Structure 1
Amino acid sequence: VDLNLMKPNQTLSGLTANIISSIDKYFLEYQPDIVLVQGDTTTVMGVSLVAFYHKIKVGHVEAGLRTHKKFSPFPEEINRVLTSRIADLHFAPTSISKQNLLDEGIAESDISITGNTVIDALFLATKKVEEINPKVPGLENYELKNLEPYVLITGHRRENFGDGFINICEAIAELADKYEDHNFIYPVHLNPNVQDPVKKLLSGKKNIHLLEPQTYLPFISLMMNSKIILTDSGGVQEEAPSLGKPVLVMRENTERPEAVTAGTVKLVGTNKNTIINEVSKLIDSKEEYEKMANAVNPYGDGLASQRIRKILKEN
C-alpha cells in the first residue's frame, strides 16, 4: 500500500498525523490478524500505534537496536523504543539487541534472535545484480569497473543537518582533491537540508559524481563495486560488511555496536579532519584496509525471514 505521505518540508508531527489517519482507514477496511513492522522509521512507530488502537498484534523486525541517546539518531531512537512498548513479538537481529529488550522489561518469551532480513534481501540482490548488471541512473555512460577505485557516500541523518553536513561536504571535497585517482560517488537524499550543502560544496569536481537517490538493485551494485563506504545509514552498516567493504560511519554513536566490535565499522563522526584522516588511512594503508574488509559480519546468515515465518506460524 502506498499511502503517498511524503511532502516537501513536512514536519515530523505532520508526517505522524498523516500516517496515523491514513493507516487507520486501511486497518478498518482489512482488519489484519497481525502487523509486521521493520526498523525504526516514523512510519513504523505510527503504524504500530494504530495497530495497538485496533488491538491488532504487532511483530517488530529489527527489534532492540539502541544507542540509549534520545536524540541520536533523531527521531529513530524514540520511534523504536515506543514500538518496543507496543509490539507483541520482537525479532531481534543479535544477542545484544535481545539484551536491550530484556533490560527494558520485555518478556524473554516474546523475543527471538533471528538475524536481520536486511541480510536475506542482500544475498538475493547480489545474485540478481550479477545476473542482470543493472545500470546506475546518473552513470549510464560508465561501467562501474571503469570508475574504480571509488568511495561510495550516503548521508541523510537529521542530527547532521546544518554544520554536520557542511563538515562532511568539506571533507569529501578535500579528499577528492587529495586523491584524484579515486572517484567519489554520492547518491544525494532529496531533503533540501542535504541537497543544498552538497550541491553548493561538491558540484563541479570531475571525480565527484552526484546522483539522484537510487533504487535497491543499482545501489547494491554501487556497494558491491566500491572500495570504501562513507555513510550515516543504519542499514548500510549491516549490508556493506557482508560485501567485504570497510564502513566509516559519520555519526557519534551507533545502535549497531556489534559491527564496531567486529571491526567492520568505525565511527568517525562529522569532524572534517577525522573524516579525511580515516578515509586516507584506508586508501593509503593496505594493512588497515584489509583489517576492516576481512572482518566477520555479525548480522546474520540470510535465513532470518525463514525463522520469522516459523515463529509467526506458531503464534
Structure 2
Amino acid sequence: MKGKIVIITGTRPEIIKMAPIIHCFREVENLDLYLVHTGQHTDWNMSRVFIEEFELPEPYAYLNINTETQIKQIANILIGLEPILDEIAPDAVMAVGDTNSVLSAAIAANKIGIPFIHVEAGLRSFDMTMPEEVNRIIADHISSLNFPPTNRAASNLLMEGYPHEDIYVVGNPVIDSLIRMKDKAERSGILEDIEASKKPIITVTVHRRENLSRKERMMGIVDGIISLDLGTVVWPVHPHTLSILEKYGLLDKLKEKDNIIMTEPLGYIDFIGLMMRSSVIVTDSGGIQEESTFLGIPCVVVRNNTERPEALETGLSVLAGTDPKRIKYEVIRMSKIGVRPIVENNPFGDGKASIRIVDITLSYLRKGFSQRCETFQEHGPIYAALIANEMLSGRRISEVESTYGVKVISLFKKDGLIDLVRDMREIRQGEMLLVSGERSKISRLLESGSHKV
C-alpha cells in the first residue's frame, strides 16, 4: 500500500499527543508522512522544543500565523493550508484536539474533499460559550473517522447522530507520550533549577480563553493562588497568560509572594518532572487533567465544567471554579489525599492508543473511507438504552459484548450514577446500559429479556 497522510498541529498539547502517532506511522513502509505546523503557539518553548524532545521530523511546512483575533487566526490557517494540501494531495488529514488549528484542518480537508481524521473526538463540556466546544463539535461532525478516547466520548458522538461504524474508542495518546517519557521526567532536576526548596510543591497552569478573557475570573484565580501558604507554588506561565496578568494588574501581586515561583514555559520532560514532584496541581488544562490522573496526583480544576468528567469520577480531580475561597479549600482538601496512581482501568487509556489509531487508519486507507449517508432514519447510528433484568444480571460486560455483538458505551447504576465501563465488571439487575451495534444484534439483546428505555 502506498499512501500519504498530512498531520496538522499548532499547539504544545497537539505535538505531545501526536508524537507517538507520528512515530508509529514512520514505521509503516510505503507511507509518506507530512507534518504541518500552523504556528498557533509561536513561542519556542511552546512548540519547537517539544518537536526536539520527542525527536519528531522537521515540519514539511510552518505557517507561522501570528494574529490576536480568533477569526483572523482561523482565516490565515485556512489560507495557508489550501496550497499545501493541493500540492501534497494526501489520502487523509489528521489532527488532535479542539484548537483553532484543528477546526481549520477539518474545514480545509472537508472543502478540498480529503477525508479528515479526528483524534480525541467526542469530548463535550456542554458549554457552547467555550470556543473549544464549538471547534470540537464541528471537527467531529465533518470528519470521516473519529477516535474518541473514552466510552463516554463515544456515546456523545452517538447521541449526536454520528455513524457508529466510524467511531473507535482507542484511549488518549497523551498517556502513550507520558509512558514513553516518564523515565526521563523522573531524572529531571527542575526543582533544583528553579530553586524550589520548600515542600510541598503546588503546580499551577492557566491558559484557557474562558478564564483569560474575563478579568473577574483571573482575579479570583490569582487571589486563590496568593492565599496558598502550604509550600512552594510553581507557575510556568504561558506567554499569553503573562500578557493578561500584566494587562489586569495582577502580575505584581504574584511577584510579591515569596512562596510563588513564576517561570517561563517548561519543556515536556521538565514539566512532567515538576508534576511528579507536586502534591497537588491547579489548572484549567484538559490534557493536564488526563496526565495528573495517570500519575495519581490530585488536581484542582479552575473551571466550572470539564469535557473530561472521567477524571472527576476517579476522585483525583475536582472542579473549583474561580472563587478564591473555594480554590484554597479544594487545594487543602485534595493535598491530603496523597499520590495514588491508577494502575488498572485508567479512564484515559493504557498507553497503546497510538498503535490502535495507526492500525485502524491504515485499514481505512486500504478499504477506502465510507461516504456519509443522506437519510438518518435508514442508515443512522443504532444504539439503545436498556434496563438489565435477571437474564443479564451477574454477566460480565465483556461476555455480553461478545455474545450479542454490541458495544456497551455507558453504564448507570441503580442510583443513577454512572460507573466506569470495565470488561470484567458484572452487570446488576436494574442497571441501565447504553449500547451500540447493528439493529439486528440490539434486537437480539432486547429479546433476551432486557427492557428498552
Q: Which amino acid aligns with 2:100?
A: T
Conserved? CA contact 1:249–1:269, under 8 Å? yes
Structure 2 residue matching 1:113: 3-state secondary structure: coil
* Partner residue, 1:175: 228
- Alignment of 1:88 with 2:144, yes or no, is yes
- Partner Cα separation in structure 2 for residue 55 and residue 264 of structure 1: 43
CA-CA distance at 1:31 after TM superposition: 1.4
CA-CA distance at 1:186 after TM superposition: 0.3
Conserved? CA contact 1:241–1:293, under 8 Å? no
CA change 1:150–1:308 in 2 (3 A) is same
Conserved? CA contact 2:67–2:73, under 8 Å? no
Equivalent positions of 1:81-160 (< 5 A) are 81-130=137-186, 133-136=187-190, 140=193, 142=195, 146-160=197-211
- Partner Cα separation in structure 1 for residue 246 and residue 291 of structure 2: 25
Q: Could you give the per-residue CA deviations for residues 217-259 of structure 1, whole angstroms, max 9, x where no partner exists?
A: 1111111111100000000010011111001100001101111
Out of 115-124 and 27-36, give the one that drifted further. 27-36
* Partner residue, 1:246: 298
Q: Where does the alignment leave 5 or more consecutive residues of structure 2 unmatched?
A: 1-35, 43-64, 365-453
Conserved? CA contact 1:188–1:194, under 8 Å? no
Of 76, 79, 84, the residue aligned with 1:21 is 79
CA-CA distance at 1:312 after TM superposition: 0.9
* Partner residue, 2:15: none
* Partner residue, 1:279: 331
- Partner Cα separation in structure 2 for residue 297 and residue 246 of structure 1: 15
- Partner Cα separation in structure 1 for residue 87 and residue 70 of structure 2: 26
Q: Which amino acid aligns with 1:119?
A: I
Of 178, 181, 190, the residue aligned with 2:239 is 190
- Partner Cα separation in structure 2 for residue 37 and residue 152 of structure 1: 28
CA-CA distance at 1:141 after TM superposition: 5.3
Q: Which amino acid aligns with 1:304?
A: A
- Partner Cα separation in structure 2 for residue 23 and residue 128 of structure 1: 35
CA change 1:9–1:27 in 2 (3 A) is closer
- Partner Cα separation in structure 1 for residue 202 and residue 84 of structure 2: 42
Residues paired across the two proteins, number? 299
- Partner Cα separation in structure 1 for residue 331 and residue 39 of structure 2: 38
Of 189, 214, 217, the residue aligned with 1:164 is 217
- Partner Cα separation in structure 1 for residue 220 and residue 159 of structure 2: 36
Q: Could you give the per-residue CA deviations for residues 33-89 of structure 1, whole angstroms, max 9, x where no partner exists?
A: 111110000100001100111111111110000011101xx2100000000111111
* The structure with more helix, counted as a fraction of residues: 1
Of 224, 232, 256, the residue aligned with 2:308 is 256
Q: Which amino acid aligns with 1:59?
A: I
- Which protein shows a greater Rg? 2
Q: RMSD of the alignment, in Å? A: 1.9
CA-CA distance at 1:201 after TM superposition: 2.0
Conserved? CA contact 2:145–2:167, under 8 Å? yes
CA-CA distance at 1:263 after TM superposition: 1.3
CA-CA distance at 1:282 after TM superposition: 3.0
Of 320, 323, 342, the residue aligned with 1:268 is 320
Q: Name the TM-score, length of structure 1 as normaliser.
A: 0.89
Q: Could you give the per-residue CA deviations for residues 257-277 of structure 1, whole angstroms, max 9, x where no partner exists?
A: 111112121101101110011
Q: Could you give the per-residue CA deviations for residues 273-315 of structure 1, whole angstroms, max 9, x where no partner exists?
A: 10011112234xx4xx14x745563110000001111101110
Structure 1 residue matching 2:78: 3-state secondary structure: helix
Q: Which amino acid aligns with 1:156?
A: H
Conserved? CA contact 2:205–2:285, under 8 Å? yes
CA-CA distance at 1:216 after TM superposition: 1.2
Structure 2 residue matching 1:298: 3-state secondary structure: coil
- Alignment of 1:214 with 2:266, yes or no, is yes
Q: Which amino acid aligns with 1:222?
A: L
- Partner Cα separation in structure 1 for residue 208 and residue 201 of structure 2: 22
CA change 1:8–1:59 in 2 (3 A) is closer
Q: Name the TM-score, length of structure 2 as normaliser.
A: 0.63
- Partner Cα separation in structure 2 for residue 219 and residue 187 of structure 1: 8
- Partner Cα separation in structure 2 for residue 104 and residue 246 of structure 1: 32
Conserved? CA contact 1:232–1:250, under 8 Å? yes
Q: Where does the alignment leave 5 or more consecutive residues of structure 1 unmatched?
A: none
% of aligned pairs identical? 37
CA-CA distance at 1:196 after TM superposition: 4.2
CA change 1:141–1:193 in 2 (3 A) is closer
- Partner Cα separation in structure 2 for residue 88 and residue 8 of structure 1: 30
